[in-house]
Amino acid sequence: MEVYVAHSHRDDTEEMMLLLVNYTLHSAAVLCMVALSLRLCYGFDRFYNFSLAGCFTLSSFVLQSALGTWGTSLFVGLSLSVAAAGGLGLGLEILVFGSLRNRGARPDVSMLVSIALSAIVVNIVAILWGDETRYFSSALSWKSTANWFALSSPLTLSMLGCWAGSLLLVGVWSEFSRSGTALRAMTSSLDLALPLGINISATARTVSVAAGIIAGIAGILAGADTSISPNMGFDAAMGGIVVAILARRLSVLRLAIAATFVGALYTAVGYFFRAEWANAGAFVLLLVVLGLRSCGKSARAGVLAE
Amino acid sequence: MTELLIHIGIMVFVYAILAASLDLLFGYTGIVSLTHAAFCAVGAYTAALLATKFGAPFLIGLVGGMAGGSLVSLLVSLPSLRLPSSYCLVTTFAFQVIVFSILNNWVAVTGGPMGLPGIPQPVILGWRVDQPWEFLILAGTCAALALWVCTHIVRSPVGRALKAIREDEGTAVAMGKNVFEFKVMVFVLGAALAGLAGVIYAHYVSFVDPTSFTVMESIFILSIVIIGGAGSLWGPVVGAVVLVSLPELLRFVGMPSSVAANVRQILYGGALVACMLWRPQGLMGEFSFRKNENP
């Protein structure tokens, strides 16, 4: 009897550990991809483009409709949702952010506009699809029970694959392509990029499409992991901003480490307190980090200078 | 119809206080803050707790609400205002989220999602304010006082220092101004006035819950300032009249109530974006938040 109890206890602990590891990995993958998209735009605009939360939400709702209501295949559904996310990113860049950049708007004001735009997208999605929580159809029901195979379930593998793939692609693109070089030059100095012959608006549009697509894929993965609702992008963008600021710059390794750390924090807060405290917990961490960075040697070195 | 107009009038006064206090930060000092709904919430909840749990009179609740808002703002301002502007916006946004989480999840004190009901009607020196028109007078008086305070600050040497910080922080430092101190001062004052608006709101609706103080509410208050005109004394009042009255017009369009709230948010957000693109100085403002357009 004692042996049985011990085994049962060990099984429960093991199951719980697996669930926690799984949850951390899933959160880290989604947060890292959102942070990557935010960091891409931050490079030249110097603000965290919150409207990417709209791309995050829109792609998952388009995929849900494509698979459920329109009855398309998974490939067509994924293509449609990624196109919608990229299109939204491009549209907002052309209509709003390019215009604000040309008119010399301050970064904080541009960020405020991006928050307002994400609120607009969230409300449009709520009107079109309704406020209630939805789930993907069986084509994306990839979850498996909590056992050792959970870490190799299709969902976890897809998440880890997309996470690593997006980081690798952005790393290679920014290092070796012409537009990636242009982005790095714009990140260093937007004023100097123009005399160097860099087409700022074309590069910004390319980056916006890429950022929109990455945020959109993150939205699809988050939707497949849990559920989809109009506000999902808002929550993800809040976590993404924390990761992007902790990572400090567009570095593949830094983003991966920061995302894993924040993912673990989400898991710990959910386990020891309540999942509703997760974003608040992440923001407390952010405030501590920013508070430390804004004083002492870090402040003198100007690491937060815009 | 008269009751509806009085209700709109009271809400215009409440939002005028919020917008005028935010204008001190945004329009005159150049600090973009998304925490104003949280300060208003602290004021409202403090007054509600004092009145319902301790039976404190209205004036004690008023002072407590304003003091609560100020204390919380001090906590926000110390780490935020040392940071560059876009990081400052992120930290104020973070505080807004944290305050909302506390209101929504600390059920023992705040009542959680159910809120705090049964806030009594205010009694001021024997005058029981229980009729809507009496609330209109109370809210109007408080709004007039708040605007008077804002006017005096803006026209004083402190106001000129705030404008200098807004125009060029580096130059203000070079002129010997303690920029951080001025920013903290105006932040705390703005929060105290937001707390005042929260106290009036709590006693007027007699119930407070977290959904009244979301980040969307902070965006709405900023929209009032931007659309009315940042850096102008009458801009926030005009903005409050326009944006508080606008949704009431939707009632007459015959829109289903299920989408009316979403349409209202889209209109607010759209107006803010349109204003930033084509008329950044708003309806009556003097400052445009663009690098090249200010004198």
Question: Which residue of chain B comes nearest to A98, CA vs CA?
Answer: B277
Question: How far, in Å, CA of B208 to CA of B226, rounded?
Answer: 27
Instruction: Give residue A11's pLDDT.
Output: 63
Number of CB atoms found within 10 A of residue A101's CB = 17
Nearest in space to A259 (alpha carbons), one of A270, A246, A281, A243: A243
Question: How far, in Å, CA of A284 to CA of A294, rounded?
Answer: 15
One digit per residue, the tens of pLDDT, for chain A of length 306 reads 444 444 455 567 777 788 888 888 888 889 999 999 998 888 878 889 999 999 999 999 999 888 888 888 888 988 999 999 999 999 999 999 999 888 888 888 888 899 999 999 999 999 998 888 887 765 455 454 445 445 557 777 777 787 788 888 887 887 788 888 888 888 888 778 888 888 888 999 999 999 999 999 999 888 888 888 888 888 889 889 999 988 877 677 888 899 999 999 988 988 888 877 888 888 888 888 887 776 655 554 444 444
Q: Which of A114, A128, A290, A300 to mutate to test the interface with B (most CBs of B within 10 A)?
A: A290
Instruction: Give residue A3's pLDDT.
Output: 44
**Chain B residues within 8 angstroms (CB to CB) of chain A:** 32, 34, 79, 82-91, 93-95, 97-98, 101-102, 104-105, 215-216, 219, 222-223, 259, 262-263, 265-266, 268-270, 272-273, 276-277, 280, 289-293
Question: Which residue of chain B comes nearest to A241, CA vs CA?
Answer: B90
Q: Does A23 touch chain B (CB under 8 A)?
A: no
One digit per residue, the tens of pLDDT, for chain B of length 295 reads 788 889 999 999 999 999 999 999 998 998 888 999 999 999 999 999 999 999 899 999 999 999 999 999 998 888 888 888 778 888 898 899 899 999 998 899 998 899 999 899 888 888 888 888 999 999 999 999 999 999 999 999 999 999 999 888 888 888 888 889 999 999 999 999 999 999 999 999 999 999 999 888 998 999 899 888 888 888 899 999 988 888 777 777 777 777 888 888 888 889 889 988 888 888 876 665 555 544 4
Nearest in space to A60 (alpha carbons), one of A38, A82, A92: A82
Instruction: Give residue A205's pLDDT.
Output: 92
Q: How many CA atoms lie within 13 A of A175 on its CB side?
A: 9
Whether residue A116 and residue B223 make contact (CB cut-off 8 A), yes or no, is: yes
ipTM greater than 0.90: no
Q: Rounded to a whole number, what is the largest CA-CA distance in chain B?
A: 58
Instruction: Give residue A300's pLDDT.
Output: 47
CB-nearest partner of B259 from A116, A127, A283: A127
Question: Which residue of chain B comes nearest to A128, CA vs CA?
Answer: B259
Q: How many Cβ pairs closer than 8 A exist between chain A and B?
A: 129
How far apart are the CA of A301 and the nearest CA of chain B, in angstroms? 13
Q: Does A5 touch chain B (CB under 8 A)?
A: no
Nearest in space to B237 (alpha carbons), one of B143, B138, B133, B162: B143
Question: How far, in Å, CA of B140 to CA of B128, rounded?
Answer: 16
Whether residue A280 and residue B101 make contact (CB cut-off 8 A), yes or no, is: yes
Q: Are B33 and B92 in contact (CB under 8 A)?
A: yes
CB-nearest partner of B86 from A276, A279, A306: A306
Question: How far, in Å, CA of B24 to CA of B241, rounded?
Answer: 19
